[in-house]
Amino acid sequence: DGGITQSPKYLFRKEGQNVTLSCEQNLNHDAMYWYRQDPGQGLRLIYYSQIVNDFQKGDIAEGYSVSREKKESFPLTVTSAQKNPTAFYLCASGSGPYNSPLHFGNGTRLTVT
Amino acid sequence: KQEVTQIPAALSVPEGENLVLNCSFTDSAIYNLQWFRQDPGKGLTSLLLIQSSQREQTSGRLNASLDKSSGRSTLYIAASQPGDSATYLCARSRNTGKLIFGQGTTLQVKP
């Protein structure tokens, strides 16, 4: 079955620690995206990548970093510089930049205390 | 500035009703408009994608329309069922490929 896998589903960290969220897809999609979802605020774009070894900042990239060394993988690191990291993080992929529907993973809920 | 707005934020209807969810956007220079469904604690599932050259798309009991001149899209759900209960989000894309999401409409269909 093709799809996007995000792991873990729940993640707990202490303030000041970096944490990496995993996103893997076997859909052979070129484009991958990271979104953050907060209650009442909809989804906001953190980073996106249209092709391997290339990525661009989204609207709220501060305090986050990504890499795209393989087509299938787009891990997101939440650094200690992110002021309010507790949120629901969603990874998505698409076969083209404009007119293809996005496929989403089931998300990782990160809680930082 | 809210670029994509969805009204109402929440909606409760009895089973069997036909209903319309609204999405409005401020920039008519869109590449496509997508509707998604999200169940609690889950990711998003793509329902319909309307390209900028199209006016509507249909899938089963769902029909989505797009009016770029007025900056509006609607999602019509026919003969609603309790299984339709979820949050519905619309998102528009620009030529950069980035999607801008609305805040969603949470639908409850009561049996």
DSSP B37-54: EE-TTS-EEEEEEEETT-
Q: How do residues B1-35 score in pLDDT, each as one tens digit? A: 558 999 999 999 999 999 999 999 987 777 789 99
Spatial contact of A90 and A102, defined as CB atoms under 8 Å apart: no
| Beta-carbon separation of B101 and A58 below 8 A | no
Is residue B21 within 8 Å of B75, Cβ to Cβ?
A: yes
Which residues does chain A have within 8 Å of residue B53's beta carbon, measured at their own beta carbons? Answer: none
Sorted by sequence, the CB contacts under 8 Å of residue B26 that are 6+ apart come out as B1, B2, B3, B4, B71
Q: Does B32 touch chain A (CB under 8 A)?
A: yes
CB contact under 8 A, A104 and B32: no
* A7-11, B45-49, B87-91, B93-97: segment of lowest average pLDDT: B93-97
Do the Cβ atoms of A103 and B101 come within 8 Å? no
Lowest mean pLDDT among A5-14, A95-104, B69-78: A95-104
Residue B26 is predicted with a pLDDT of: 87
- Decide if B43 and A40 are in contact by the 8 Å CB cutoff: no
Cβ contact A48:A64 at 8 Å:
no
Cα gap A98→B11, rounded to integer Å: 31
pLDDT of residue B97: 66
**Closest Cα in chain A to B6:** A42
Strands A76-78 and A108-112: unpaired
- The tokens for A28 are 């052979």
**B95 touching A, CB under 8 A?**
yes
